[in-house]
């Protein structure tokens, strides 16, 4: 697909300042959008109420402008659209594809002997068979709970539309990739504190914004299997995907805010120019 119908997005979370890995993804998205003659949107994925901060959102906008990147307005901020994600969750619950889970993280760790593709303890399905009346009563009492995808019910429905997969692209080459969502188990699709999760909100927003090409890091490639299932269940289109390599530090680890990787702001303060950053990233 090319032309004005091509739409991409760069979607950072405002839980820290952007680093070189973010800059690479942002510039690559803009480059591919330009090559396709389409648009690249900016989306602020700020569903986390404890880690998302206004100063980080402003920092994202400032850093991207400094790099020479501009985006159509208004910019979508996920925290302002919780009712939309709640509606999507309600659809999955009403169809029998999601159930409330009252287990704590420590309980799950104690019960699990395997890991999901993200390395987190694989949920053993403890609450999957909970009596619906009991589950409702516990929710009405205000017991903290997440909502989990019932993979045993979801997979047959998702596969009823054909083999599970997505089209991956690299330059002008495209190929079909089959996916297996089963290793995710009953993944969380809504957190305790908000009626959504990264997985649910991202597939909703990609469809809402008409995203045709998703360009993101290879660390999210495994999640695409789960996203394909959610897209099928919600009747949403599956974009083309490209999972690019990650920028690593001197020790071969991907850059991360949690490890204090040098931010674009600190590099700018040290004298780096946008041209320096782009050259360092291979652009």
Residues 150 and 278 occupy one common structural domain: no
Alpha carbon separation from 133 to 100, 136, 140, 252 (Å, rounded): 12, 5, 10, 51
Residues 173 and 202 occupy one common structural domain: yes
CB 44 within 8 A of CB 9: no
Residues 221 and 262 occupy one common structural domain: no
Domain of residue 157 covers 80-210+217-239
pLDDT of res. 4:
57
CA distance 163 to 72: 35
Residues 94 and 230 occupy one common structural domain: yes
Residues 41 and 111 occupy one common structural domain: no
CA distance 68 to 34: 14
Residues 3 and 33 occupy one common structural domain: yes
pTM of the model: 0.95
Alpha carbon separation from 236 to 52, 132, 200, 206, 241 (Å, rounded): 27, 28, 12, 9, 15
Sign of the CA dihedral 264, 219, 233, 9?
Answer: positive
CB 41 within 8 A of CB 7: yes
Residues 175 and 116 occupy one common structural domain: yes
Specify the residue for token string 């400032």.
62
pLDDT of res. 252:
74
Specify the residue for token string 């695409």.
224
pLDDT of res. 257:
65
Residues 65 and 87 occupy one common structural domain: no
pLDDT of res. 258:
64
Q: Which residues contact 53 (CB under 8 A, 6 or more apart)?
A: 14, 15
CA distance 6 to 35: 10
CA distance 128 to 133: 13
CA distance 100 to 92: 12
pLDDT of res. 254:
79
pLDDT of res. 162:
94
CA distance 183 to 172: 31
pLDDT of res. 2:
47
CB 198 within 8 A of CB 247: no
Residues 234 and 255 occupy one common structural domain: no
pLDDT tens, position by position, for the chain (283 residues)? 444 599 999 999 999 999 999 999 999 999 999 999 999 999 999 999 999 999 999 999 999 999 999 999 999 999 999 999 999 999 999 999 999 999 999 999 999 989 999 999 999 999 999 999 999 999 999 999 999 999 999 999 999 989 999 999 998 899 999 999 999 999 999 999 999 999 999 999 999 999 999 999 999 999 999 999 999 999 999 999 999 999 988 777 777 766 668 999 999 999 999 999 999 999 9
pLDDT of res. 66:
98
pLDDT of res. 229:
98
Residues 68 and 84 occupy one common structural domain: no
Residues 20 and 104 occupy one common structural domain: no
Alpha carbon separation from 92 to 156, 185, 253, 278 (Å, rounded): 14, 16, 37, 43
The CATH number that applies at residue 262 is 3.40.50.620
Domain count of the fold of the chain:
2
DSSP string spanning 23-69? HHHHHHHHHHHHHTT-EEEEEE----TTT--HHHHHHHHHHHHHTT-
Residues 137 and 233 occupy one common structural domain: yes
């Amino acid at each position: 697909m090319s032309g004005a119908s091509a739409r991409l997005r760069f979607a950072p979370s405002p839980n820290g300042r952007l680093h070189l890995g973010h800059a690479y993804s942002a510039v690559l998205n803009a480059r591919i959008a330009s090559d396709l003659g389409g648009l690249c949107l900016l989306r602020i994925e700020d569903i986390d109420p404890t880690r998302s901060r206004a100063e980080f959102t402003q920092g994202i906008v400032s850093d991207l402008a400094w790099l020479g990147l501009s985006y159509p307005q208004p910019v979508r901020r996920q925290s302002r659209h919780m009712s939309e994600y709640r509606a999507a969750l309600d659809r999955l619950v009403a169809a029998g594809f999601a159930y409330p889970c009252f287990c704590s993280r420590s309980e799950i760790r104690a019960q699990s002997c395997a890991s999901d593709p993200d390395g987190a303890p694989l949920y053993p399905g403890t609450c999957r068979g909970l009596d619906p009346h009991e589950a409702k009563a516990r929710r009405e009492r205000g017991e903290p709970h997440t909502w989990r995808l019932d993979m045993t019910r979801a997979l047959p429905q998702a596969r009823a539309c054909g083999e599970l997969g997505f089209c991956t692209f690299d330059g002008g080459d495209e190929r079909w990739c089959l996916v297996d969502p089963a290793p995710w188990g009953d993944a969380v699709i809504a957190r305790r504190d908000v009626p959504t999760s990264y997985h649910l909100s991202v597939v909703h927003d990609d469809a809402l914004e008409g995203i045709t090409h998703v360009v993101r890091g290879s660390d999210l490639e495994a999640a695409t299997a789960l996203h394909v299932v959610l897209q099928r269940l919600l009747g949403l289109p599956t974009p083309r995907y490209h999972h690019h390599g990650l920028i690593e530090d001197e020790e071969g680890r991907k850059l991360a805010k949690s490890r204090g990787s040098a931010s674009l702001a600190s590099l700018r303060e040290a004298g780096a120019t946008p041209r320096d950053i782009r050259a360092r990233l291979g652009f």
